Chain A
Amino acid sequence: MVGTAMTRLFAMLPFLLLAGCDGIQTPLSPAGDQASALHQLLMLMTIVCGVVYGVVLVGIGWSLWRGHNHTTAFGDTPGDDRRLSRGLWTAAAAIVIGLTVLVVGSFIADRALFATRGKNAMEVRVTGHQWWWRIEYRDSTTGRLIETANELHLPLGRTTRLTLGSADVIHSFWVPNVSGKIDMIPGRRNTLDLTPRHLGWFRGQCSEFCGAQHAHMAFDVKVESPAAFDVWLATQTRPAPPPLDAVAARGQAVFAGPCAACHVVRGTDASGRAGPDLTHLASRHSIAAGTLPMTRGGLQGWIAQPQALKPGTSMPAVSLAPADADAVAHYLETLR
């Protein structure tokens, strides 16, 4: 019973690896150079380790079968020790050879991770906060830092160099489809190169425990063509569009009260820095660091009940009249 369960589960592993499930947050379907190098290493390791495990199981089976077929009560057959000694040396040699293969494989993958692709990598600064991500791009014309949050856009085929830091505790930046993780450590600055090779949406998540809402500290990654990326960056550089209708204008006015103390909407008086920049909030895929989808309902829910959706988040419950809350949600929806 045990054996079958094990065997079946183990049989699933290579299947899954080969099938390369099309997840948006998995090292198994690599979409970047770094993840590809690691994926190859993973395959090599899985095969070598699988073979080793098979050998061990066969060894146990053989031993039990051989012992079972003896007739004497005590195991003192002459010659066994000599054969075993030879076996011991063979085993040692085999292990050393296997490990050498793996160490070399690991070394090659390690080199691939740190090889600089193109000297003029685009620099992006990512900072971990409890529990969201501040992301800053540099505007190539003015040199100013353009801030956004919880969504990383990457141009296809170009290397982006992330500078990773933390404002409070240790976090860890991980987009498994593109590369391995690197911790974001207060007082230190780490860098990570990302060279995406597939278009599409991916998901990243904090992978170092960072407090109550560690589970809801995710972000979206969009890999797009360089042209689309440039359009996106240009949009992000612009200040927020002015409100187009009366409801949106009312929303903006309400927003200037309790929301503006923590949030920036460029082009308005809202200039608080404690929370995420919301200038182009509606252009993003999700809100509250991957907690909710970017929909009207999501926004309304988040404004009304942040502590129910993400208990412990720094986003406070704000007592707004229902009409005001609606207006704010409507206003935020216009921030494209």
Chain B
Amino acid sequence: MTRDQDRLDRLDATWRDAPGLWGFLTTVDHKRIAARYIVTALLLMFLAGMLALDMRLQLSVPENTRMSPQLFNESFSLHGSTMLFLVSVPAMEAMAFWLVPLMLGARNMAFPRLGAFSYWLYLGGVLTLWIAHAMDITPDLGWFEYPPLSGPSYSPGHRADIWAQMITFTEVAALAASVNVAATILKMRPPGMTLARMPVFLWAMLIASIMTILSMPSIMLVTSMLIADRLVSTHFFSPAGGGDVLLFQHLFWFFGHPEVYIIFIPATGFISSIVETFSKRPIFGHSALVMSLMSIGALAFGLWVHHMFAVGLPQLGNGFYTAASMAIAVPAGLQIFCWIGTMWAGRPWLATPMLWVLGFVATFVVGGLSGVMTASAALDLQLTDTYFVVAHLHYVLIGGGIFPLFGAFCYWYPKATGRLMSERWGQIAFALIVGGFNLGFFPMHLLGLMGMPRRVYTYPAGMGWETLNQVATAGSAIAVLGGLVFVANALISYWRGAPSGPDPWGGSTLEWASASPAPSWNVAYTPVVDSLTPMWNDGRPLRAMDGIAIERREVLVTSVTDATPLYRQLSASPSIWPLIASLAVAAMFLGSIFTPWAVAIGAVPIGAALIGWFWPTRPRASTGPLRARS
């Protein structure tokens, strides 16, 4: 949607970042922030994947002494913590940051500086964990560190503290990001995009944000309690002091279970977008999909106990939790039906993004079904903490989270770069990753059923586990190779890919209305929406409204339900303060590993940074006792 060049130049002058490093440090452009989120997450995915490969090599033969138990335990802890806290959730946040304003035809997020702050803080969490790893202070107790093993008596040193504070970093970042995304979706929709006309993608991001807001306080509370136990000798998790070790598990899984859906629900948004565009018809069952998302979101908060079936809870609750856990299969199954139904009624076109959708369905459904099996309180006693669960969680998280993410990456890559990725190499990467993944992880179901527990650094010969472990190792290696092809394809296409134009796929939603790559101001005019698929409107021109300023950073704020225009909001300009504030917060978090006084002393620089952040840009007062004298 380009009009005249003069307008674009003026918009550019208004929204442009400062050049060079200063611009890099101060930018509040949601696309740049999202891009660095994605790059960081992909880099970490690579590192954590290498750890996985290392562990697979260790397990490929019995009685292997290639890795010491300490190294193996550090590896799976680092792998799990990185993948769960530093890759999956941040990658989904990044997609929200990048796409939500584009899909809304808005010029930026609701709180641009908060977005920058989220990234810096997330980076702080990344550095905390990985610099500690470089210094040989690696957490070594898994991605959930149960006390008393993680308590002051059995985890001397600061490994457990590093883990706990890494979580605090990322969760504060995720909470801030979620408030940002939710406010953007609720208050910055274009005129006409009522709640009923909101694409599934936006619903998914909204619901995931709300789930984050309601679940992550739990993990922040529980890791703070763990640090308090370790640092100032509180007794939350000390049975002999009146505490209870299961309290940790309850609080952890009150977050941990919704966490899975916080990863999965955005993925359903990607899938819905891709299926719609590549089936060439509006998605079937929009309201059914949205209702499913809502019920998954609500149910997810009632299921945490199914991670604790083996702790010996009263039998009375078992039936209830079994039924509730299995019930989540109903909305999930209906979603799958809607996507397949859309393909059935549409004209499916098997471009790479669509291949990933097929890979997603074929893989995720296996994870969902093994989830139904583990949801049985009785059967779980044979399955939990075995390789069956390792298989299950990878099918759910990779099949249900990472495959859609890869699909989304291929789908929106042209929008981000203005170039197309190679289809052929995309297909090769797809085949290697999906094939290798299934070869690597399907045998783990069987290993679990053959009695192999998870988190063992080695196993005795003669248990019958050798062959399947070797197959699993081979599969993981193939998948890693596929990952490298995928990344290489993305990198090469960045410079060599064919120009894509603004809308290479004939997409249905508003992000395809802006240029590719999207300019810093996103859209020149405010689009007006009258259907779920505003880009598919029988060849009529796309309707838009003028009037949002071009000389200053201004965004449109609309009403929550009907998206009626309410007022024009001034949008924050680039600033170094989010970075300074996150440095101050980081200093406090890191200090509080060593002394409780860090909380009190660290509050001062944080306060100072926030004062700088919100320093008024308006003129000095001309009335009142403090008025400016000139």
Contacts and interface: CB of A to CB of B under 8 A. Distances in A.
Q: Within the complex, are A and B direct neighbours (CB within 8 Å)?
A: yes
Contact of A212 (B69, B323, B333, B338): B69
A128 to B, nearest CB: 12
Contacts of B279: 67, 75
Given A88-B338, A170-B148, A73 B347 contact: yes
A9 B460 contact: no
Given A99-B372, A185-B246, A106 B449 contact: no
B345 A80 contact: yes
Interface string A75-119: 111001100110110011001100100110111011011100000
Nearest to B146: A170
Interface of B: 68-70, 73, 141-142, 146, 148-149, 154, 239-240, 244-246, 279-281, 284-285, 288, 310-312, 315, 318-319, 322-323, 326-327, 329-330, 333-334, 336-338, 340-341, 343-348, 350, 358-359, 361-362, 365-366, 369-370, 372-373, 376-382, 384-386, 431, 434-435, 438-439, 442-443, 445-446, 449-451, 453-460, 463-464
Interface string A305-332: 0000001100000000000000000000
A2 B358 CA distance: 12
A132 to B, nearest CB: 15
B438 A5 contact: yes
Nearest to A170: B146
Contacts of B154: 168-169, 211
Interface string A163-191: 00000111010101001111101111011
B239 A187 contact: yes
A2 B384 contact: no
A211 B343 contact: no
B453 A206 contact: yes
B379 A38 contact: yes
A112 B337 CA distance: 36
Interface stretch (A51-59, A138-146, A250-258, A295-303): A51-59
B330 A60 contact: no
A88 B337 contact: yes
Given A38-B379, A88-B285, A180-B382, A45 B373 contact: yes
The B interface, classified by DSSP as helix, strand, loop or mixed, is helix
A199 interface: no
A290 interface: yes
Given A1-B435, A38-B382, A73-B280, A27 B343 contact: no
Given A110-B322, A113-B381, A209-B385, 20 more contacts: A9-B443, A17-B449, A25-B451, A49-B370, A52-B365, A84-B341, A99-B329, A114-B315, A183-B310, A183-B311, A187-B244, A190-B311, A205-B453, A208-B146, A208-B310, A209-B73, A209-B142, A215-B456, A290-B460, A311-B69
B385 A181 contact: yes
A106 B378 contact: yes
A21 interface: yes
A105 B322 CA distance: 11
B84 to A, nearest CB: 16
Contacts of B343: 60, 63-64, 67
A62 B372 contact: no
Nearest to B238: A187
A68 B348 contact: yes
Given A28-B450, A103-B326, A214-B455, A75 B312 contact: no
Contact of A75 (B70, B285, B345, B455): B345
A77 B344 CA distance: 11
B620 to A, nearest CB: 60
Given A9-B442, A64-B348, A182-B381, A84 B285 contact: yes
Nearest to A3: B362
18 contacts: A2-B359, A23-B464, A38-B378, A73-B347, A75-B345, A84-B345, A88-B337, A91-B333, A92-B330, A95-B333, A106-B377, A106-B379, A107-B322, A169-B148, A170-B245, A188-B246, A211-B141, A215-B458
